[in-house]
Structure 1
């Protein structure tokens, strides 16, 4: 039998291309030959992200291996300025960076990264005194995320800094309500390429008539914005305010209150967005209050709300072509899962919780003939009924058996996911 090192390198690289990141790292530790092959093959690591926490433990061979793999996405936890200088020395071509729990009041060292395109700053333990560090990045940043960051600068300074980033296609700004920006008109006026916007709405009670109306829009013009996320939302809005968003394709509403007010503002949103394809609703009024307003263009729907089986019947009539469904009702889902094959026969992806769902109803999902991905959102169990505090965060034996049975029934057509993998640069608010 031919030994492993004697096989052509191209063959091994082809095999390695099918491995997960974790498996690649495991194979890399088996021998120097595999380590050399993997480290000298940057295409195998395309899209790979790494989290760096304790910089004092990283030696030169560690940094050299990252450089050889052309790692371009890094998350730095509990970092300081000196760590960014070290990072820029070894990975000068870094294109994506997240600073989590940043320990100092400024980030001027970001100017050392001349190819940085994605920047995320979240959960800083020290207030950011200003955002001047953004100005050197104005010609390169395409995505900016500021989440749970203490800003001691005035809102006018924030808007001036962000408005310089004219290449931005994605902007995320999540805060505790301390930031007062009366309207998004000024931001949208300068960020003409913006397609994704995620904004905290806790300070707004009524949206002004020009809230989404940048100065460069005239007449019946609309924004390029296609994806909008609103956190802590409970603001009064009119159809005139939403006119610039008539071409919006994706809307996510995270309501401020679990017990809503007397008026369902979501009705106005849905009536004003005839081309909406993706809708995500978290909290607020029960589904029954706005189900009749869902546009027929919907292809993807996330519902983390109070709903009843009859409400899903209305959804199936209003959105007959639904392909993606994420269902997390506040009440038990035991009576809902059994309805899905009949109500939504075109589903391609489905995300549900399996607790309290009978085995028969779970296996009945085989009748979703177009389903290719099923994600189970509650992959944990309590092995000892006498000790409810003991929780094992992995699929239970019962769930694993159900998954196996479902895959056999579908001839392994359905891929079942029991642990989601988030973008390490994304915030955890949404």
Structure 2
């Protein structure tokens, strides 16, 4: 019997390009033909990151498959120096490396990666006594992240090591406060290409005038190239003179040290000094009412994890009329917040909100946001039961089977509406416990066919939340992908 003609490889590759990482990996396991097509197509794996945990289980075939796919990003969990040597032998062209829970003090083997550009060291169980491993990478690294790392070296050694990274554009330094680090002004001055900075502020009570720029440069009106700034454990006094070098700043994120604010709201000084700010993220500190009148009109993205009320949002809508991205985690439980959003912020493209309870009418009013691409709700377990039914056992939800029939009328009505308006709808649910993070997502492709998918990711792994526009032709309305997700936080055993 004559075998059926195979489809062209170009057509299969086009189909594979629409699949998620998990689906691509599943297709590799179906047959040798698909495995060959997927492994030989480098563009299909652009941006793919593999997590390596148990190196003794990986054989030559596994390493060869990673090399064929040109994997450029790797996360090593609980690794040692011998694992870096093995990794460099199989993936010498690695460009991004994250070391989580590193078990040894030395990192000399990093010099084996001649093309490494992004390095992240997080949650080290062993203190880092020296940062000499950065010197061989001085002409390579563009991004460096040191998060939850205990540094026992001198602060001068830290500044010298970072100062040698001539191509650095992003620096993230988070520590426990045991090391007193001088002001980042010298780093910003000697690294003109540095555009992103994330800095722990727990050791600072007052920001000196040369905090972001040396005095002799700030006096002459010099400005640093920094465009994104993130401050952790912040509770420091600041003046407008200190912030003069940050005239080009586009994004500001502040995580306050204390949930109970002090007598003075320092954020008003920041907002007054940064009139061109486009993105603002505030976690903790004073309620929104203390600084809402100082929000710049240039804001396009706003994240508020603070105490706020409907009246505050009304003022915010007047101060930032062009807002497109809004993330709200209000400490108050006002039921009017969701209902007001379509009226106050009609141009929203993404909306992330955590709320205790939303009525059916308030939830369905979100369909008035015509430009909305992404809608993400965070709810507690009690409200989740109102969505899926009180008689649905956790076992059924955790197995990822038949979740759609359990959802009540208001979720279905919203999906039916957006399926008529948009080309594709993605409705997802995340159920988080202490040691697991699972997401259920099902897609309505053409208002009639509903498919269901379930996938698991390790605790702490970021689940994909981005959407992209598809199918635009001249003279026709743009069809978008809208993703709606639920986040349910619960403790283990409940």
3-state secondary structure, aligned to 2:50: strand
Change (3 A) 1:417 1:194: farther
**Pairing 1:67-82 to 2, within 5 Å after superposition:** 67-82=67-82
Q: Distance in 1 between matches of 2:56 and 2:380?
A: 36
- Report if aligned partners of 2:309, 2:334 keep a CA contact under 8 Å in 1: no
Whether the 8 Å contact between 1:376 and 1:417 is mirrored in structure 2 is: no
Question: 1: distance between equivalents of 2:190 and 2:316?
Answer: 38
- Shift, 1:388, TM fit: 11
Residue 97 of structure 1 deviates from its aligned partner by 0.2
From the superposition, tell whether residues 304 and 377 of structure 1 become closer, same or farther in structure 2 (CA, over 3 Å).
Answer: same
Where 1:377 maps in the other structure, the secondary structure is strand
Distance in 2, matches of 1:25 and 1:386, equals 35
Q: 1:281 to 1:77 in 2, by over 3 A?
A: same
Report deviation, 1:178: 1.1
Give the equivalent residue in structure 2 for 1:377: 378
Q: 8 Å contact 1:144–1:171 — kept in the other structure?
A: yes
User: Which among 398, 406, 414 is matched to residue 406 of structure 1?
Assistant: 414
What is the 5 A alignment of 1:246-261?
Answer: 246-261=247-262
Q: Give the deviation of 1:372 after TM superposition.
A: 1.6
CA contact (8 A) 2:330 2:355 kept: no
The 1:192–1:212 alpha-carbon spacing in structure 2 relative to 1, beyond 3 Å, is same
Relative distance call for 1:354 and 1:306 in structure 2 (3 A) is: closer
Greater displacement, 367-376 / 86-95 = 367-376
Does structure 1 retain, via aligned residues, the 8 Å contact 2:392–2:406? no
1:169-248 matches, within 5 Å, as 169-214=169-214, 219-248=220-249
The Cα shift of 1:418 comes to 4.3
Q: Helix, strand or coil: the match of 1:25?
A: helix
Counterpart CA distance in 2 for 1:267 and 1:41 is 51
Cα contact 2:329–2:355 (8 A) shared by 1: no
In structure 2, how many angstroms separate the alpha carbons of the residues matched to 1:263 and 1:205? 13
User: What residue is the counterpart of 2:462 in the other structure?
Assistant: 422
Report which of the two has the higher share of strand.
2
- Normalised to the residue count of structure 1, the TM-score between the two structures is 0.92
1:303 aligns with 2:304: yes
Unaligned runs of 5+ in 1: 425-430
1:388–1:232: structure 2 CA closer, same or farther, 3 Å change rule? farther
* Shift in CA distance, 400/124, structure 1 to aligned 2, threshold 3 Å: farther
Distance, in Å, in 2 between the alignment partners of 1:87 and 1:401 is 51
Count of paired positions:
424
Q: Distance between the aligned counterparts of 1:230 and 1:5, measured in 2?
A: 60
Structure 1 CA distance for aligned equivalents of residues 235 and 186 of structure 2: 22
SS at match of 1:51: strand
Deviates more, 1:129-138 or 1:413-422: 413-422
Query: Aligned partners of 1:303 and 1:93: how far apart in 2?
Result: 40
| 1:62 to 2:62 alignment | yes
Identify which of structures 1 and 2 has the higher relative contact order when contacts are C-alpha pairs closer than 8 Å and 6+ apart.
1
Deviates more, 1:393-402 or 1:114-123: 393-402
| 5+ long unaligned stretches in structure 2 | 431-438, 440-460, 465-494
Report deviation, 1:377.
Answer: 3.1
Secondary structure (helix, strand or coil) at the match of 2:105 reads: coil
